[in-house]
Amino acid sequence: MSRVLLTGAGGNLGKVVRENLAGVYDTLRVTDLIEMAPAGSGEEVVQCDLSDAEAVMQLVEGCDAIMHLGGISLENTFDSILNANIRGTYNIYEAARKHGVKRVMFASSNHVTGFHKRETRLDATSEMRPDSIYGVSKGFGELLARYYFDQFGIETACVRIGYSFEKPLTRRMMAIWLSFDDFTDLAKRVIAADRVGFAVVYGMSNNKETWWDNSLTSYLGWQPKDSSEQFANDPNITSEVNDPNDPAVKYQGGAWVAAGHFEDQK
């Protein structure tokens, strides 16, 4: 892959991935709605609103693959999510189709399946049960990716990211933690694999407790190396007391389930 596009490069995870991918490809084109750090060696920096179809069409031109991390990463109003996550993702895939881009890594979310109970083991075939409008938008993205693969042959790995921050703060986060290095390795593997097809991958490190099974997408050859167990003795973890009937504990989506509908919170 000569030129790879990274959307959402100004976000928390996007900044890390951008740094970790330095020098991996001939050209890394990075984009976000917000201002980003200046271009480094082998980089192109393009500020772009993903809801602007014409701008996205120009953004994707000349790219060989796309890592799509762009969009809103928290629950928000429907209109905000519509523009950033739904319209923006559609624009990315339509531009990919018109410019002949054949591979995408789509940053989906565990909130696509947040209403499954913790004791339910999920895999790539599990039913979508979103816990939020944000989760709905990521489910839309996965269905869009499915359509663009079946209709146009654009391969996508939909990565249902768990909790990808420096360290987990709760026992729930321990189960779904995804280290920065493991996520970067997965992103690189998706781009490098001989074939991706349409894949749903759960974004988690090699944690002791887990609710997800990636055996159906093991053909990608990704094996996470890190584990949340290194944080098991953190005071935040050891002092945690939970009610098993609390919706935030009962369901995989955690506090997102317990929060209810966003519009009712205002």
CA angle 90, 28, 25 (to 5 degrees): 120
Q: Is the dihedral of CA 103, 18, 77, 252 positive or negative?
A: positive
* Dihedral Cα 157, 160, 165, 171, nearest 10 deg: -150
pLDDT for 266 = 65
Catalytic annotation, pick one of 90, 93, 134, 251: 134
User: Residue 93 in contact with residue 104, Cβ under 8 Å?
Assistant: yes
pLDDT in tens, the chain (266 residues): 799 999 999 999 999 999 999 999 999 999 999 999 999 999 999 999 999 999 999 999 999 999 999 999 999 999 999 999 999 999 999 999 999 999 999 999 999 999 999 999 999 999 999 999 999 999 999 999 999 999 999 999 999 999 999 999 999 999 999 999 999 999 999 999 999 999 999 999 999 999 999 999 999 999 999 999 999 999 999 999 999 999 999 999 999 999 988 888 76
pLDDT for 108 = 98
Other CB atoms within 10 Å distance of the CB of residue 67:
28
Q: Is 90 a catalytic residue?
A: no
| CATH number for 32 | 3.40.50.720
Confidence (pTM): 0.96
Q: How far is CA 192 from CA 77, 131, 187, 204, in A?
A: 36, 32, 9, 20
Other CB atoms within 10 Å distance of the CB of residue 263:
9
pLDDT for 264 = 82
pLDDT for 260 = 87
pLDDT for 74 = 94
The predicted-structure confidence for 22-76, as pLDDT tens digits, reads as follows 999 999 999 999 999 999 999 999 999 999 999 999 999 999 999 999 999 999 9
Domain that holds residue 51: 3-265
Number of domains, the chain: 1
DSSP tally for the chain: helices H, then strands E: 10, 7
